[in-house]
Amino acid sequence: MQEDKFTMNSLQSIWHFAGKHKYMITIATFILIIVFLDENSAIQRINYSREISLLNEEINKYRQEYEESTKKLNELNSNPEVIEQIAREKYLMKKPNEDIYVFED
């Protein structure tokens, strides 16, 4: 009997507390759901923002590489001396009367 009274008193005090602070409990629950539990929570948004900034950096890097490659390609198409320079340096080609010396580190 004593345990039943203790249980009833504790339940009544919890119910009284919940009734008295129902708006604060509702707001705290809402904040908990928004920040942590929701699929579009604040934590997920922060992670998405980081991922977007990393992807934007990667886009800028590839855009820069593309511009450099386009510039080199245009130079190759318009300047035959550049083609000759690349053939000599990269593929070790030579003119008929030349000797090539290759130094390795």
Residue 68 lies in a domain: yes
Tell me which residue range forms the domain holding 46.
Answer: 39-96
Q: How many domains, the chain?
A: 2
Structure-model confidence comparison of residues 32 and 6, the more confident one: 32
pLDDT tens digits, residue range 12-49? 888 888 888 899 999 999 888 887 887 788 888 899 99
Residue 102 lies in a domain: no
Residue 103 lies in a domain: no
Q: Highest-confidence range of 3-7, 73-77, 83-87, 100-104, by mean pLDDT?
A: 73-77
* Contact indicator for 84, 90 with CB cutoff of 8 Å: no
81 & 48 share domain: yes
Structure-model confidence comparison of residues 30 and 1, the more confident one: 30
69 & 29 share domain: no
Structural element, H or E, at residue 2? helix 2-20
10 & 46 share domain: no
30 & 56 share domain: no
9 & 50 share domain: no
Question: Residue 86: which residues within 8 A CB-CB, separation 6 or more?
Answer: 76
Query: What's this model's pTM, rounded to 2 decimal places?
Result: 0.53
3 & 21 share domain: yes
pLDDT band at 11 (very low <50, low <70, confident <90, very high): confident
Q: What values do phi and psi take at 14, rounded to 5?
A: -65, -45
CB atoms within 10 A of CB 5: 9
Say how far apart CA 72 and CA 78 lie, in whole Å: 10
28 & 44 share domain: no
pLDDT band at 4 (very low <50, low <70, confident <90, very high): low
Q: Which two tokens stand for residue 80?
A: 């035959």
43 & 92 share domain: yes
